Amino acid sequence: MALKSPWRADFPGVLALEAEGQTYLDSAATAQKPQALLDALLGYYASGAANVHRAQHLPGERATRAFEVTRSKAAQWLNALSTDEIIFTRGSTESLNLLAYGLEHLLPVGGQIVISAAEHHANLLPWQQLAKRRGLELVILPLDQSGDVDLHAAMRLIGPHTALLAITQLSNVLGRWQPVAALLAMAKAHGALTVIDGAQGAVHAKPDVQALGCDFYVCSAHKLYGPDGVGLLYGRGEALAHLQPWQFGGEMVLDADYHEARFRPAPLGLEAGTPAVGAVIALGAALAWLSELDHAAVAAHEGALHAELLRGLQARAGIRLLGEPQLALACFHVDGVHNADLAHLLSEQGIAVRAGHHCAMPLMKHLGLGGAIRVSLGLYNDGSDLQRFFTALDNALELLR
């Protein structure tokens, strides 16, 4: 009997795509949205939009209250100690760029920034460019055969010159939970700042920044069944106090004249300009919806789907899995078949998967591949989605091989 998602009916977009003959298996890129989010977004715009924190009129006060309620919900979701530790950005990429510029003054010339070989470009390029600007060494932690950071190598590479560790929590290519607790302990033993990229991880396990003990944690709303254009940046209070603004204007100004200015502390001091008010309010609705779910049931459903996906891929000759994915997704390469050709034939049959380097080009080069197919799952996916995928995959491979 095919696995059924009890949450599928909450996602009008999934049902609309299904009615078009489309099967959506690209949730690691962006997730579909629950009705609760759509209601909140329409409700905000339909009841009178306004800017936040600036106006004394009723629409402005109402928007500000709803905006700050989302900050409270985000703090609860991440288990932050204070709402002041939550910064709204445009996504994980902007959060990481904010950190790379905002922490630059703390990193000594000749120091080291440590990342892993599994990083998304968003958690590679800001640090790569910072290393060039500041005269720092960018250290890459190697992976083992499963796709995990090699902890023995990490013990050698993380040392007294390590100024910052930035590590993904869950790889968007390999589908592996990285050993962040052990890596953070190594970095903190040398007084290094610690950053966790939770863009994928936050979707599949409710984050607890207190338990993690990191200085900074980032994630994106659009992967978390939330709206586009919003990200969350958590900063531990003491670490956040040292973060300098990287954008200037509007909201973050405390006092200004023509030649000097003073800026607000976090969070508003790091949120220059008009934010994505409607999207932030909609994120609050998405977080409230997520909080009401039976998380054990979600994990069990996603785990069963993932096991079915792996069984199907491993049963087909010539398919090479990348690493040993634990949950949420699987990337694979087919011997003698170009990933773009396969993705095209799958798309023609209504199967939405992702092909290419998945914003992890150095990792693909390390694996000796120009790209791969990624199938990624959301809690709204059914076993029937995988059945349609495997039927389409067999049809495509019959033509290509």
Q: Where are the domains of the chain?
A: 8-25+294-400, 38-291
Question: pLDDT truncated to tens, each residue of the chain (401 aa)?
Answer: 579 999 999 999 999 999 999 999 999 999 999 999 999 999 999 999 999 998 889 999 999 999 999 999 999 999 999 999 999 999 999 999 999 999 999 999 999 999 999 999 999 999 999 999 999 999 999 999 999 999 999 999 999 999 999 999 999 999 999 999 999 999 999 999 999 999 999 999 999 999 999 999 999 999 999 999 999 999 999 999 999 999 999 889 999 999 999 999 999 999 999 999 999 999 999 999 999 999 999 999 999 999 999 999 999 999 999 999 999 999 999 999 999 999 999 999 999 999 999 999 999 999 999 999 999 999 999 999 999 999 999 999 999 98
The residue annotated as part of the active site, out of 214, 219, 331, 359, is 359
SS (H, E, C) the chain: CCCCCCCHHHCHHHHHHHHCCCEECECCCCCCCCHHHHHHHHHHHHCCCCCCCCCCCHHHHHHHHHHHHHHHHHHHHHCCCCHHHEEEECCHHHHHHHHHHHCHHHCCCCCEEEEECCCCHHHCHHHHHHHHHHCCEEEEECECCCCCECHHHHHHHCCCCEEEEEEECECCCCCCECCHHHHHHHHHHCCCEEEEECCCHHHHCCCCHHHHCCCEEEEEHHHCCCCCCCEEEEECHHHHCCCCCCCCCHHHEEEECCCCEEECCCCHHHCCCCCCHHHHHHHHHHHHHHHCCCHHHHHHHHHHHHHHHHHHHHCCCCEEECCCCCCCEEEEEECCCCHHHHHHHHHHCCEECEEECCCCHHHHHHCCCCCEEEEECCCCCCHHHHHHHHHHHHHHHHHHC
Q: Has 219 been annotated as catalytic?
A: no
**Assigned CATH class of 38-291:** alpha beta
Answer whether CATH 3.30.930.10 is correct for domain 8-25+294-400. no
